[in-house]
Structure 1
Amino acid sequence: MVALNVGVAHYWLDHAYGALMHRMKLAPPFFAKGWGGQKLELLERIARQLVNGQEDDESSLVQVPAANWPPPPLPITLHWRTVWETPSARLQEGAFFTPCDEQLRNALPLESYIARVALLTPRNTHPANTSCIIHLAGTGDHGFQRRLKLGAPLLKDDIATMVLESPFYGDRRPKQQRGAKLLCVSDLLLLGRATIEETRALLRWMKEEMGFNKLGVCGLSMGGVHAAMVGSLHPTPLAVLPFLAPHSAAVAFCEGILQYGTAWDALMQDQVLNSGTTLEQVRERMRAVLGLTDVTKFPAPKKPEAVIFVSATNDGYIPRHSVLEFQRAWPGSEVRWVTGGHVSSYIFHNKEFRKAIKDAISRL
């Protein structure tokens, strides 16, 4: 009975936070500018291409054979500066031009063209004896500090941390956008695809330029979805760690608490849909569009046993069924449950996240 009451308390903490942030209108809603017009149509085609390798456009002159998909990540040139160093560790910050192809890059806001990363490494261990994990951003995670704090204790285990600042976040946020509240639905797909391409390029750089021994990718919530997609597309085994993550963004925005922070009225009024559209029709379109982020449709990573999900027992943002769908799609992967909700687990279960990282790395 006590455990049940604690679980209910965690669940309602998520709802209380959601009510404060969304229902009471203390923050602007997601997608206040609508669907994104022609940009959404472009991103829908690009999202379908991620899954099956085929350009979903009959007018396209180039059809990419699925057997040759995905194309190799593009090389990048990183420019570094040292932030600080001690006898045992070094923190550097770097920048590089996004490796997205021209079509995708032109859809990005200018502020997002330059990607920013932080790299925390042990100084007393050669990269050939060091592993490195790329930490991807969850919703609202601007800058580097939260993820550096999560990764820093892993230095003693010879695990370095790289943090990528996502497009539309931090220094890459367009001027018109307030906080993390993306202006259009197309921005969510664009953020995801650009993050995936940048992460793939960084993995290539870490292997070829730095010579790290073992590599992985993790992320909280939205970042966990992106981490899973990267793990699916990477040609060699990775440690893949989706934390508090759904199998699809449609779950978060159509079932979880984020539905209360979505500008449904603006989406109803958007010209993409016909006049007289009902709210339920708008929700169905959202489910269809964000269904393109369904990671269960992606191939399993090369080593599923190095995939560890860490999920919360009483998550008000991510329902339990979504996590279990994720695991079933990738046989051999593992789910670890922590007691708590989305908010409380993010705050109190960093030790469990770190242990999962160490265990996944050990399985490579």
Structure 2
Amino acid sequence: MVTVNLGMLHYVLDHVYGALMHRSKLSPPFFSRGWGGTKLELLERMIKQLFPEVEGQNWPPTLVQPIWRTVWDTKTACLREGVFRTPCDEQLLSALPPESHTARVAFLAPKCVPPQKMACVLHLAGTGDHSFERRLRLGGPLLKENIATMVLESPFYGQRRPMMQYGAKLLCVSDLLLLGRATIEEARSLLHWLDYEAGFGKMGICGLSMGGVHAAMVGSLHPIPVATLPFLSPHSAVVAFCEGILQYGTAWEALREDLAAQKTAMTLEDVRERMRNVLSLTDVTRFPIPKNPDAVIFVAATDDGYIPKHSVLELQKAWPGSEVRWVKGGHVSSFLLHNDVFRRAIIDGLNRLEWKECPL
């Protein structure tokens, strides 16, 4: 009985947090400016092109060359920050806001160990994660395991946030797809840099919530095995915006009016159906199975008010050989209390990879 009550408490905490963040009038809701017009049509076409990915297609990506500056340097570790122009093609670049054209990364690595004997994990941002600090705190203790941490600032977030956007509340539905598509391109290029330029012996990619969805997509599309570690993540954005708490922070009336301006009268149910169709493009079960599904470890919460259990299990079923680890808690409490479990999953996922062969 105590376990049930605690579980309900975690679930209620998610809804209380969601009400404060998404139902209050303190900030505008998601998608207050509608669908995004022709940008949405472009993104729908571009994302569909990802699904028939085959060996060697669109690979290698543009090899980015970040310009680095040292933040701090000790005898055992070094933290650098870098900037590079997003490797997105011209179509995608023209759709991105100018503020998002320059990407930013932080890179925390142990010293006195050659890269070929180290691993590096690229951490992608969850909804509302505008800075490097939380993900660096997650990766910091892994230095003693000879695991470096690279953190990517997402388009539309942090210093890449458009001037008119309030916090994490994206202005148009097209922005959500654009954020994801650009993140995939940038993450693939960074993994290529870690492999080809920096020479790391193993690599992984992880993320929490939205960042976990993007990590799963990148791990799916990468042509060589990487540890793929989605934490507290759904199999699709449909779950978050059409079933979960974020539906209460979505500007459904503005979306209805935007559709009505293009067509005949639309009901809110019509709008929700349109949203489901658009966000079905983010369904990771439609992506290829990663090269080494044994190195895929999901961490999910038993009483998550944002991500239902069935969503996690759908992706595990689609990727035979992958593993789900359950933590007791909700979305918010697990995010705060279970970093040790996330770190253990990172270590175990990397341990399931073979070391890259080094030239003599």
Scaled by the length of structure 1, the TM-score of the pair is 0.95
CA deviation after TM superposition for structure 1 residue 202, in Å: 0.3
Q: Unaligned 5+ residue runs, structure 2?
A: 354-360
Matches within 5 A, 1:185-196: 185-196=173-184
CA contact (8 A) 1:239 1:357 kept: yes
Residue 326 (str. 1) matches residue 319 (str. 2): no
Deviates more, 1:124-133 or 1:67-76: 67-76
Please state if 1:351 is matched with 2:352: no
Q: Give the alignment of 1:216-231 within 5 angstroms.
A: 216-231=204-219
Q: CA deviation at 1:78?
A: 1.0
In structure 2, how many angstroms separate the alpha carbons of the residues matched to 1:157 and 1:51? 35
Query: Match for residue 18 of structure 1?
Result: 18
Match of residue 339, structure 1, among 301, 305, 328: 328
Offset of 1:283 from its aligned partner? Answer: 0.3
Please give the secondary structure, in 2, of the residue aligned with 1:218: strand
Q: How many angstroms does 1:68 deviate by?
A: 4.9
Instruction: Report the aligned-residue RMSD.
Output: 1.0
Q: Deviations over 1:285-341 (max 9, x none)?
A: 000000000000011100000000000000000011000001000000000000000
State yes or no: 1:110 paired with 2:98. Answer: yes
What is the alpha-carbon distance in structure 1 between the residues aligned to residue 130 and residue 24 of structure 2?
23
1:61 corresponds to which residue? Answer: none
Give the equivalent residue in structure 1 for 2:170: 182
Answering whether residue 240 of structure 2 is matched by residue 270 of structure 1, we say no
Match of 1:125 in 2: 113
Superposed displacement of residue 124, structure 1 = 2.1
Instruction: State the alpha-carbon separation in 1 of the partners of residues 166 and 52 from structure 2.
Output: 34
Secondary structure class of the residue paired with 2:120 = strand
Q: Distance in 2 between matches of 1:92 and 1:150?
A: 16
Q: Secondary structure at the match of 2:50?
A: helix
Deviations 1:229-261 (A, max 9, x none): 000110000000000000000110000000000
Displacement, 1:22? 1.5
Aligned to 1:63: none
Q: Judge which range, 268-277 or 231-240, deviates more.
A: 268-277
Please give the alpha-carbon distance, in whole angstroms, between the structure 2 residues aligned to 1:85 and 1:23: 44
Q: SS of the counterpart of 2:193?
A: helix
Deviations 1:91-120 (A, max 9, x none): 000000000010011100000000000000
Instruction: Return the alpha-carbon distance in structure 1 between the equivalents of residues 247 and 290 of structure 2.
Output: 30
> Is the 8 Å Cα contact of residues 81 and 105 (structure 2) preserved in structure 1?
yes
Q: How many residues are matched? A: 352
Residues 1:87 and 2:75 are matched in the alignment? yes
Other structure's SS at 1:353 match: helix
Letter of the structure 1 residue corresponding to residue 244 of structure 2: G
CA distance in 2, matches of 1:143, 1:6: 31
Number of the residue aligned with 2:3 = 3
1:316 maps onto 2:305 in alignment = yes
Give 1:71 shift. 3.5
How far, CA to CA, are the matches of 1:210 and 1:118 in structure 2? 15
For 1:213, the equivalent position in structure 2 comes to: 201
What per-residue deviation string (whole Å, max 9, x for no partner) do you get for residues 11-30 of structure 1?
00000001111122233200
Q: Distance in 2 between matches of 1:318 and 1:286?
A: 18
1:282 corresponds to which residue? 271
In 2, Cα distance between equivalents of 1:11 and 1:266: 29
Distance in 2, Cα, partners of 1:77 & 1:71: 17
Cα shift at 1:135: 0.2
Aligned mates of 1:22, 1:356 — CA distance in 2: 31
TM superposition shift of 1:273: 4.8
**Secondary structure, in 3 states, of the residue corresponding to 2:235?**
coil
Question: Which 10-residue stretch deviates more, 238-247 or 121-130?
Answer: 121-130
- Give 3-state SS (helix, strand or coil) of 1:161's partner: strand
- Is the Cα contact below 8 Å between 1:70 and 1:233 reproduced in 2? no
Letter in 2 for 1:45: R
Alpha-carbon distance, 1:181 to partner: 0.4
Q: Which amino acid aligns with 1:4?
A: V
* Structure 2 Cα separation of the partners of residues 49 and 310 of structure 1: 29
SS for the counterpart of 2:49 is helix
SS at match of 2:51: helix
Q: Please say which of residues 263-272 and 320-329 is displaced more in the overlay.
A: 263-272
Q: Distance in 2 between matches of 1:17 and 1:70?
A: 41
Name the SS of the counterpart of 1:52 in structure 2. Answer: coil
Counterpart in 1 of 2:84? 96
Q: How does 1:67-82 map to 2 (within 5 A)?
A: 68-82=56-70
Give identity over the alignment, percent: 68
TM-aligned CA deviation for residue 151 of structure 1:
0.3
1:359–1:67 CA distance, 2 compared to 1 (3 A): closer
Q: Deviations over 1:31-84 (max 9, x none)?
A: 00000000000000011111125xxxxxxxxxxxx5653442111121000000
Structure 1, unmatched stretches of 5+, are 54-65
